[in-house]
Amino acid sequence: MIEISTSILNVAEQNAMKTFYDLEVAKTDYYHIDVMDGKFVEKNTSDLMYSYASSIKQMSNLPLDVHLMVSDIKEYVDKYIPLSPHFITIHYEACKNKQEVKEILEYIKKNNIMCGLSIKPGTKVEEIYEFLPNLSLFLVMTVEPGKGGQKLIPQTIEKISKLKKYLYENNLETYIEADGGINIENVNILKEVGADILVVGSCIINSADYKKTIQELKKY
Ligand code: DX5
Ligand code: ZN
């Protein structure tokens, strides 16, 4: 069964706690925390996301799925380790070289957190094959990172199916996560190509009934 990681990027501050509570009742599988630093991407959500993640940690046992869209990766990894997220995902494009990718992934794992690596729509999936044996999660961005509410870029679907095939042929068990522009209309294609976890923001947060929307997204 596909899992849903709800992006809380666009949750309004006035009723944030109620929204987090409602999402738990609606059975989101994870809270997806979109950390942006104003450098790797234009927007800066750093303080808000840290305060949201800390609040969630106090009120819920559901796992945190932290997506770091930042340049100073190590600094942010250290900031999030004390919150014991289920996943910490870093961006391949934010690393200086492949050695740095390896070192940071190792560092996350050493702290007993599942490590994830993400690529932007323009990066070829083949570039990251060598990291897969050491990865728990591979996050395929289906929009350009930087903001919620964008349209899914159709060409990214093909990357997921290529990756799925590669994982199968090489007996690897990395989860595939897709992130950006996912909604009721395009969810089936993502299931068909083999995504395991779907990050969904606007489609859930802008809906009147979170539970119904999550059920609808999960339904086959
Ligand atoms: C984009 C973020 C996504 C995004 C998801 O940079 O990584 O998590 O906010 O939101 P929607 O579903 O609105 O595209
Ligand atoms: Zn994200």
Residue 209 pLDDT exceeds 80 = yes
Annotated catalytic residue within 22, 78, 179, 209: 179
Longest dimension (CA), the chain: 48
Q: Cβ–Cβ contacts within 10 Å for residue 96, how many?
A: 9
pLDDT digits (tens, 9 = 90+) for 113-145: 999 999 999 999 999 999 999 999 999 999 999
pLDDT digits (tens, 9 = 90+) for 5-14: 999 999 999 9
Residue 19 pLDDT exceeds 80 = yes
98-110 vs 73-80: helix axis angle to the nearest 10? Answer: 10
Ligand 1 atom 12 nearest Cα:
201
Domains assigned to the chain: 3-219 (3.20.20.70)
Active site residue 34: yes
Active site residue 179: yes
Q: Cβ–Cβ contacts within 10 Å for residue 145, how many?
A: 23
* Cα separation, 121 vs 10, whole angstroms: 22
CA of 182 to the centre of ligand 2 (A): 11
Q: Cβ–Cβ contacts within 10 Å for residue 127, how many?
A: 12
What's residue 164's pLDDT?
A: 98
pTM above 0.95, yes or no: yes
pLDDT digits (tens, 9 = 90+) for 86-114: 999 999 999 999 999 999 999 999 999 99
Percent above pLDDT 70 for the chain: 100
